[in-house]
Structure 1
């Protein structure tokens, strides 16, 4: 079973990698294959190299929005099996002055492999709507796809 402290530690590492725009470090937190699912997109990546490349492709957009730091709030955590947990997280996106740009909720399926948690499935709950609103407010075009 997973503890809240263990999940918080995993999320702290993930937010640090996201804040640093470090695709390799973020990808290392994923198991493979890894699936990202939203209302407008489904993608499964079978290697850490593919995951890192996919993550890195979104960085110019986030940087154009002024993203400088990511924080999180763990909203829910349920152990589904001794090795698999479902977590709901609200990510907070801040600019360089520490102002909140927007937030967004995700659900993740985490699995313990080699004594570490890894993400296998990420479901974007409201990311598209919130990023679309932020991009419009800043006069930035949303990337295609």
Structure 2
């Protein structure tokens, strides 16, 4: 494993741990500012760490209702775009309290290595919305229950 692979694995382990513990503060420290979410339907930019924390926290009630208790990852692809910028494709594995796989999702991140290590700046979810909707349907969970009526995120 070369230095970027080891650093990237550490980054993904820390990100998965923050998601597992529903720790938006810890997850937000792995993001640079501004952070961007880009998909087929929308573009969202979070300009501050506080906005990133608030954005991450919005998904946690749904994750809890779905029974997600741990998150793992598989690195699918790593491309070095420049000396400090990397494009990574990650498969996230969402498990229940018994360790059973509930669902997975794939996403692409643009990461930049700086003085504070790797930070995410762009996230492109490939199939997260569809897979979460399918899991919610299987479990009989209303994805909009308790959601902010103005929130359009998936």
Is TM (by shorter chain) over 0.5? Answer: yes
What is the SS of the residue equivalent to 1:3?
helix
Q: 4+ runs of 1 displaced by more than 6 Å? A: none
1:12-31 counterparts in 2 under 5 A? Answer: 12-31=13-32
1:66 aligned to 2:67?
A: yes
**TM-score by structure 2 length?**
0.90
Tell me: CA distance 1:2–1:78, structure 2 relative to 1, closer, same or farther (3 Å).
farther
Q: Residue deviations 1:78-106, cap 9 Å, x none?
A: 10000100000000000011000000000
Distance 1:38 1:63 in 2: 24
Shift of 1:5: 1.2
What is the SS of the residue equivalent to 2:27?
helix
Distance 1:2 1:53 in 2: 32
Alignment-derived partner of residue 52 in structure 1: 53
Q: Which moved more, 1:58-67 or 1:134-143?
A: 134-143
The number of equivalent residue pairs is 145
Distance 1:128 1:136 in 2: 12
Alignment-derived partner of residue 78 in structure 1: 79
1:124 aligned to 2:125?
A: yes
Shift of 1:39: 2.4
Distance 1:124 1:37 in 2: 7
Q: Gaps spanning 5+ residues in structure 2: where? A: 145-150
Distance 1:52 1:78 in 2: 28
Distance 1:10 1:64 in 2: 27
Shift of 1:115: 4.2
Alignment-derived partner of residue 142 in structure 1: 143
What is the SS of the residue equivalent to 2:141?
coil
Alignment-derived partner of residue 12 in structure 2: 11
Q: Gaps spanning 5+ residues in structure 1: where? A: none
- Answer yes or no: is the 8 Å Cα contact 1:77–1:87 preserved in 2: yes
Tell me: CA distance 1:115–1:52, structure 2 relative to 1, closer, same or farther (3 Å).
closer
Tell me: CA distance 1:36–1:54, structure 2 relative to 1, closer, same or farther (3 Å).
same
- Answer yes or no: is the 8 Å Cα contact 1:93–1:101 preserved in 2: yes
**TM-score by structure 1 length?**
0.96
